[in-house]
Amino acid sequence: MKPLKAIRFTKMLLLWMIFSLLPGCQPFNLRLDILDLESPNQVNGIVFFIDKEGQPTYAVFHKDSMVIDTSKMAFTFKHAAPMQKGFQIDSIIEENHRESWEMPWGEQRIVENNYNSALVKLSETQSPYRKLNIYFRAYDDGVAYRFEFPKQEGIDTLIITDEHSQFKLTEDPTVWWIPGDWDIYEHLYTESEFSKINAISKRNHPDLGQTYIPENAVNTPVTMRLQSGVHLAFHEAALLDYAGMTLKVDTTNLSLESELVGSDRLGYKVKRALPFQTPWRSIQIADKATDLIASRLIENLNEPNKIGNVSWFKPKKYMGIWWEMHLGISTWDMEATQDMSTHTQAAKAGVKHGATTANAKKYIDFASKNNITGLLVEGWNTGWNHWIGFEDREGVFDFVTPYADYDLYEVVRYGKEKGVELIMHHETSAAPRTYAQQLDTAFALMKQLDIHAVKTGYVGKIIPKGEYHHGQWMVNHYQKVLETAAANQIAINAHEPIKGTGLRRTYPNEIAREGLRGQEFNAWASDGGNPPEHLPIVAFTRMLAGPIDFTPGVFDIGLPQKPDNQINTTLAQQLALYVVIYSPIQMACDLPENYEHQPAFQFIREVGVDWEQTKILNGEVGDFVTIAREERGTGNWFLGSITDENEREIEIAFDFLEVDKNYEVTVYKDAPNAHFSKNPKAITIEKIKVDYKSKLKFHLAPGGGLAISLITSN
């Protein structure tokens, strides 16, 4: 860390330059006209002022450098003049905040939430004298701000056509980005210089049932590396009753600007009655990439738990009547008329319905013998023969009527007897009005069956036409589902969701979501599946938004059923993902028969899903990452490491282990000749001796990984 004096000096120099440009402003009497907010340890800071045209303006500092150059804030409205210029600062209220809070489940039990904050009250200097407040927070791991439209005379409701929050970069950094798609996050990440971002080139992906990329914009979280090695990740927190934010890219001026997802049906982006607050606009700032993963900024920006004790949800490993459908071995619809794993073709001869009572019992038997306490059954309810490819999907699924060959009550009873709880499945087929109407009956059935988790899905274009998955109307739908579920003691794992914005702190029944290109693409993507660099990018981008239902654990990596596809990782990497990719529900996604008699399956049997603490040991975005996590309640540690297409040596210091404890240590590593495409299943499993003083080197194969279990033995 640079000495404080140097930080202050650089910043003061910059402030002097800014202010010497403002008419009538002397650096000596700046106090009233400027906010200079620093984080508790003073590494990060925000400066806010009103420029000479009266426009709200801010800059962000990290140590002795400016990381966001002077950037503007503005709003445009449907029936009102823009809020942009002609503002003055009426007051600034600064506060310090220090607390720690407990995650009911999570990457760690205790979270420190320390920040300095400011509420800046602004008003227009001329009629109509409108008011706008801005809340700022400076944390040691980043900064954030949000707008508040306070109650004021003459304005009841605002219809926002866009928010223009600018983020001006100070250089042309390396960026890991997905396009600012209004309908789906399931794109591969691209690594490029900021000036080379071209989101338009990602339009019309053949494997996406819904996609709309109107601008050269990116979705968040978007992560960048500056030349100094400092990493910035832009995102939003507490997205409630507002549209999701994409960031429009100005490749010439090296600047981003918020571009909200709109509604073509309603002709605007956000409609709100006053008073209201926008989501937080957040920038995680880290000296090294690994600190981004350790940061809890996004959760800290959210309100504390509002739904009380959620002990009815237990973090768990689960299996699914799921992968077999994606492989085309079985179908979602009972009539077996559709092979949705190829999205269009009719099912092949001999292919049968997956969700039968007998098949569910087979999975339950396997799960209960192997320390797996959940089972997801997809295709259990009527309607699946009217799913992908159908425009008229309203009223098709009712979420309570099982197919004739699936005895829901018997499966639940059998699961209970064996200690396996069902995870319910509600594929809405992107007909949210139908789902909202059915929600009470659907949840009542779950309550009756004592089922406490549901995977929801929103495949397809939203009905009604003109709405997008990430617009305000859908944000409110997802939130209504979350809150209704909480009232019924139900946890939500949403696929095709709205992005995670840390609401799991306020609503800890928001357990996981997809919201990325998941394992399923490996079964059927026309581009050959996720490349080896995908997950080493995801860990530093999408994972900053919260838990991921990635569904790891494919053992039959070659996918014999799918000649054009395979998993582009080694088997050891599939194991490592249980630690690297965080979720309180982790699927063991392969077929039971592919796990039988596999020594490597011992790791999945043992690995934890709920963590006392997490250590990010090493990593670089898009290259590799190693994470160690201590299981809650047992003191066992599990370690996962993954690499991209490049093989590499990593050194691990086991100094995270307790000094006075003994551990039984099993290593699952790539065999010397392992390779993600040529030899993916080659794994070496060995017991080794390790204590807190150990420092060991490991070899990761191309597309490879490493998983280590450290089970306490005293």
Binding residues for ligand NOJ, rule: CB under 6 A, are 322, 378, 427, 457, 459, 495, 514, 520
The radius of gyration of the chain from alpha carbons, rounded to an integer in Å, stands at: 26
Interface size with Ca ion, residues (CB under 5 A):
1
Nearer to ligand NOJ, 168 or 542 (CB): 542
Least distance (Å) between residue 397 CB and ligand NOJ: 10
CA separation for the pair 148, 135 (Å, rounded): 8
User: With CB cut-offs between 5 and 8 Å by kind, which of Ca ion, ligand NOJ, none does residue 299 bind?
Assistant: none
Angle at CA 146, nearest 5°, toward 267 and 239?
Answer: 60
Residue 257, contacted partner among ligand NOJ, Ca ion, none, CB below 5-8 A by kind? none
**339: Cα separation from own chain's centroid:** 29
Say which residues have a Cβ less than 8 Å from residue 706's Cβ, sequence separation at least 6. 572, 576, 626, 639, 640, 641, 650, 667, 668, 669, 670, 698, 700
**Whose Cβ is closer to ligand NOJ: residue 130's or residue 495's?**
495
The span from the CA of 551 to the CA of 568, in Å, is: 15
Least distance CB 411 / Ca ion (angstroms): 25
Return the number of the residue (280 or 322) whose C-beta is nearest ligand NOJ.
322
x/- binding map, residues 468-497, to Ca ion, per CB under 5 A?
---------------------------x--
- Where in 492-531 is the site for Ca ion (CB under 5 A)? 495
CA distance 571 to 668: 9
**What is the nearest approach in angstroms of ligand NOJ to the Cβ of residue 514?**
5
State in angstroms the smallest separation of the CB of 439 from ligand NOJ: 17
Q: How far apart are CA 534 and CA 518, in angstroms?
A: 10
Number of other CB atoms surrounding residue 21 within 10 Å: 11
Contacts of 200 by beta carbon, 8 Å cutoff, 6+ apart:
179, 213, 215, 216
CB of 559 to ligand NOJ, least distance (A): 16
| Chain centroid to CA 690 | 34
427 binding partner (options Ca ion, ligand NOJ, none; Cβ < 5 to 8 Å by kind): ligand NOJ
Catalytic residue among 427, 520, 533, 612: 520
- The contact pattern for Ca ion, residues 436-475, with x = CB under 5 A and - = no contact, is ----------------------------------------
Which of ligand NOJ, Ca ion, none does 322 bind, CB closer than 5 to 8 A by kind?
A: ligand NOJ
Does 645 qualify as catalytic in the annotation? no
630, interface contact from Ca ion, ligand NOJ, none, CB < 5-8 Å by kind: none
Choose between 323 and 638: whose C-beta lies nearer to ligand NOJ.
Answer: 323
Q: How far is CA 81 from CA 55, 85, 87, 156, 159, in A?
A: 14, 11, 13, 15, 11
Shortest approach of ligand NOJ to residue 425 CB, angstroms?
Answer: 7
Provide the β-strand partners of residue 643. 624
Which of ligand NOJ, Ca ion, none is residue 623 near (CB under 5 to 8 Å by kind)?
none
Peptide bond just before 275 cis, omega within 30 deg = yes
Min dist CB 605 to ligand NOJ, Å, is 23
Give how far Cα 163 sits from Cα of 56, 67, 294, 601, Å. 13, 22, 30, 50
Residue closer to ligand NOJ, measured from CB, 474 or 628 = 474
Query: Nearest distance from residue 429's CB to ligand NOJ, in Å?
Result: 8
Cα gap 559→567, rounded to integer Å: 8
Nearer to ligand NOJ, 322 or 698 (CB): 322
User: What's the chain's length in residues?
Assistant: 714
Q: Is there a contact between 626 and 640 (Cβ–Cβ < 8 Å)?
A: yes
Tell me which of ligand NOJ, Ca ion, none is bound by residue 508, counting a contact when its beta carbon lies within the kind-specific cut-off of 5 to 8 angstroms: none
CB of 451 to Ca ion, least distance (A): 22
Pairing of strands 585-587, 510-513: unpaired
Selection from Ca ion, ligand NOJ, none that 141 binds (CB < 5 to 8 A by kind) is none
Structure tokens at 98: 């220090």
Q: What is the CB-side half-sphere exposure of residue 279 using CA atoms within 13 A?
A: 29
Closest to ligand NOJ by CB, 139 or 524: 524
Measured from the CB atom, is 183 or 514 closer to ligand NOJ? 514
Would you say 675 and 604 are in contact if contact means Cβ atoms under 8 Å apart?
A: no
Structure tokens at 74: 């503005």
Question: Which residue type is seen at 362?
Answer: K
Q: Give the residue with the Cβ less far from ligand NOJ, 234 or 332.
A: 332
Alpha carbon distance 301, 170 (integer Å) = 26
Residue in this structure with the two tokens 């696929």, named with its chain if needed? 495
* Residue 504 interacts with which of ligand NOJ, Ca ion, none, CB < 5 to 8 Å by class: none
Catalytic positions are 520
Where does this chain bind Ca ion (CB under 5 A)? 495
